[in-house]
A and B are shown apart, each in its own frame.
Chain A
């Protein structure tokens, strides 16, 4: 059954509020999604009924908190098709998850001249950790280019992968919306003995995720873009990799034994979760996963394909050559992320004018400055859609866009 955004909106308390006296038209879910009542309630319930630290108390509250956190881990594992719960590591966000791989697997396994391959459409979170390893360990960073339609240009893939140790790619571009051929890339990486990491931050919230089907070795994503709270992200990795990787941060939770002479690490996944974990956030993420499962991820994807198609048609019909929408033109080849330029008006100014009508879009480089350079701009406006958006939101965007003319077009 198709999603009913009008009814879904009633699940999200924030949708009741007005902005500058206008209905909230939230088109920035690629930056952060809103939270349904079920997620907010799960977090409140944790604090009100069984707040306590996990894995270290024998009293009832601690038992319940520990149980709730591990149930959340199980829910996430099921949601992404992981074969074991222990393959799900809770991190602060996707950025920390990627850094965890760079700092542990990368430091232990990469040396001078070892190639790590990324793409031109990566978020800074999948660029800077590798720049840091370039500076510290002399790895070689290689870039898969994009073509004019915002797809990866795989013409030179064999050469780029030659001798590579890791291929790390966003499953969906946070700027162009491009859905990348992850399975094909993973197979190509494995053929040369490289590992495959997937930045699924813009994928897992919007498409059915199966980490095994992806063929990945590492998958990173964040909770707050998928109806969950901030402060929690996930690294999924194959058990055999996690077993041999050195720990990330040192401290409580991640140890088996500590003496004056040294320490031994806890089992996976706790080996990578030093300190008191984000318990309420994990519980909230579990509730978010339940919520999305209830909607059905196939239906979420169908809804976004239809709405993206409507947005592409509406904006193009309305504004023709005055608007440039970056990325693939086929809705089936992209996520619900539309980066655009309008009449040469700077995105910051476009976003400011749209805000007056309660329309929230992002303006800037979207943490993808190398991609901006490839696109030949310093910034774009970006409208991104989710389960609570419908055609009326796209219409509101299209209506408000023309208001910018009064200020900027002579």
Chain B
């Protein structure tokens, strides 16, 4: 069995105990999306505010296990201030790290790179989740929800 220490890395537990960007944003101007993990009941709510193609602000709500909530916190810290183009690359790189097939919905722009040259930074700590296949959905829930929010934003733009 892989070590639990691989799953519950200190940086993950730090984000779980002290979640970044926790809260809500006014909608509009922000958009809101909800994600559910039907297996375990994890919930993630993402608020995103875009300005000139940049993630101007992001807030995260919901409740769930350490992996889903830490992943949401780490995601929010990583994507804030990034362009939507960078975000797509991050999303692809993150899903690749999670051993997930690229979703066509994640590839909205023909300009998207393959994500190979993107630095994941703190997000790398979630790599150990792959050894616990049941938990991969916990880690990717917030990213799916963010994608959903961006689709919403583009639809209403």
Contacts and interface: CB of A to CB of B under 8 A. Distances in A.
Interface of A: 20-21, 346-349, 352-353, 356, 363-365, 369, 372, 378-379, 407-408, 410
A379 B40 contact: yes
A408 B13 contact: yes
A407 B13 contact: yes
B7 A356 contact: no
A248 B40 CA distance: 32
A346 B66 contact: yes
A349 B7 CA distance: 10
Interface string B12-45: 0100110000000000000000000001111100
B119 interface: no
Contacts of A378: 41-43, 63-64
Q: Closest 7 CB pairs between A and B?
A: A348-B65, A365-B41, A346-B65, A20-B1, A364-B40, A378-B41, A379-B41
Contact of B41 (A356, A364, A407): A364
Interface residues of B, number: 22
Given A20-B1, A348-B64, A356-B4, A369 B13 contact: no
Contacts of B69: 346
Of A352, A356, A369, A410, most buried by chain B (CB within 10 Å of CB) is A352
Of B17, B66, B67, most buried by chain A (CB within 10 Å of CB) is B66
Contacts of A21: 1
A73 B132 CA distance: 42
B50 to A, nearest CB: 29
Given A352-B4, A379-B41, A407-B66, 16 more contacts: A20-B1, A346-B66, A348-B65, A348-B68, A348-B135, A352-B7, A352-B135, A356-B4, A363-B40, A364-B39, A365-B40, A372-B41, A378-B43, A378-B63, A407-B13, A410-B17
Nearest to A372: B41
Interface of B: 1, 4, 7-8, 13, 16-17, 39-43, 63-69, 132, 135, 138
B132 A348 contact: no
Contacts of B132: 352
A341 to B, nearest CB: 12
Contacts of A407: 4, 8, 13, 66
A212 B119 CA distance: 67
A348 B4 contact: no
Contact of B42 (A20, A348, A352, A408): A348
Contacts of B66: 346, 348-349, 407-408
A376 to B, nearest CB: 11
A378 B17 CA distance: 18
A346 B13 CA distance: 12
A353 B4 contact: yes
A407 to B, nearest CB: 5
A163 to B, nearest CB: 34
Contact of A369 (B4, B17, B41): B41
A348 B138 contact: yes
Contacts of A346: 64-66, 69
Contacts of B8: 349, 407
A379 B38 CA distance: 11
A120 B42 CA distance: 20
A347 B67 CA distance: 12
Nearest to B3: A356
A349 B41 contact: no
Given A364-B40, A378-B42, A378-B43, A349 B1 contact: no
Contact of B40 (A20, A348, A356): A348
A21 B1 CA distance: 9
Contacts of A410: 17
B69 to A, nearest CB: 8
Contacts of B16: 408
A7 B132 CA distance: 34
Nearest to B13: A407
11 contacts: A21-B1, A346-B65, A349-B8, A349-B65, A352-B132, A356-B4, A365-B41, A378-B43, A378-B63, A379-B41, A379-B64
B136 to A, nearest CB: 13
Nearest to B1: A20
A346 B64 CA distance: 7
A347 B17 CA distance: 16
Nearest to B43: A378
Of A346, A363, A369, most buried by chain B (CB within 10 Å of CB) is A346
Contacts of A356: 1, 4
Contacts of A20: 1
A350 to B, nearest CB: 9
Contacts of B1: 20-21, 356
